[in-house]
Structure 1
């Protein structure tokens, strides 16, 4: 019976020291998955932020030019009224340019607001995946395990506390 218990103990120890490399690969694959998702969302964030900044630049430029052109039209209209000439109509080229610039401003402003919102959403997503990646890596940095120690010559057995970093 004693031999059976020792044989059972040795068999348990032998099978417990099996190579678990597929578990390590799963850990690396999970960390790589979170890294890949983080980079994907971070790149989308950068792209959306870049588009948002360009749209803001176009909006500010078009409203500046439209404001200057509007002042020119207003001053010229006042001058024409004083000299009793006919004024601008909605079909005159300067008014059409003025309305076009104002339309560009409105469209650019909508693009700026929408891509700014998309950028903030992507930033939150990339931060969330980065936090998951960091939490997953910190969870698997230190492993504590008990390694059995058997000395068949002196007929002693025991365990050793092992820390894997």
Structure 2
């Protein structure tokens, strides 16, 4: 923030002399002249192409569905204790800017980029969460899970539990 303020002050010092030279005559004259010189007859017209190569271009392309990353594309990043957060934070903004929804499979991690997909495993069960927040900020916790993810892994009632983490894809 301080850097942005410094840049603004530096720019305003170099722009002020240029703004002092601008008068109403230099601003209004070109606009009036260009408006007077342009008439409807001079405006470009759209003419459809008769080129057959251009006609073969598809105007709308369907979304390409990407398959989920395979186990071979997963990169283990260790494990530790996971905790969870739920309804008391519903609707609040996460560090990524989106609103928290405890029913989505999301999580908070200290360093992984927002949008990273992480496989969280515990006792033979796994869920895939998307990183959209920063944390956890207490204890030796490695990840904060949404309520839905914690429920599926069986750590909601306990409050926390040991998990293994793997980043999916080419992150």
Q: TM-score, normalised by structure 1?
A: 0.18
More helix by percentage: 1
Query: Which structure would you say has the larger Rg?
Result: 1
* Greater relative contact order, per chain length (Cα 8 Å cut-off, separation 6+): 1
